[in-house]
Chain A
Amino acid sequence: MKQFLGFLRKEFLHIFRDPRTMIIIFGIPVVQLMLFGKVISTDIQNAKIAILDQSHDNTTREISSKLLSSGYFVLGQELLPGDNVEDVFRQGKVKMIVTFGPEFEHNLERDGKADVQLLADASDPNTARILTNYASGIINDYVKKEKLQNIQLPDQINVEVRMLYNEGLKSVYMFVPGIMAMILMLISAMMTSISISKEKEMGTMEVLLASPLKPIQIVLGKVTPYLLLSFINALTIILLGVFVFGVPIKGSFLLLMGEAFLFILMALSLGILISTVAPNQMVAMFISLLGLMLPTILLSGFIFPIQNMPLPLRIVSNILPPRWFIVIIRNIMLKGTGIQYIWKETMVLIFMAFTFIALSIKNFKIRLE
Chain B
Amino acid sequence: MKDHRVGNLRFGMAIDIDRCTGCGACMMACAVENNTSVPPPEAGDRRGLTWIRVYRVDNGKPYPENRTVYFPVACQHCDHKTPCVPVCPQNAVDIDPQNGIVSTIPERCLGCRYCMAACPYHARYFNWWDPVWPKGMERSFNPDVSPRMRGVVEKCNFCHGRWQAARAQAAAEGRRDFREGDFVPACVEACPVGAMTFGNLLDPGSEIYRLIHGPRAFRLLERIGTQTKVYYLSDHAWVRALGDKLPEGGAHG
Bound together? no
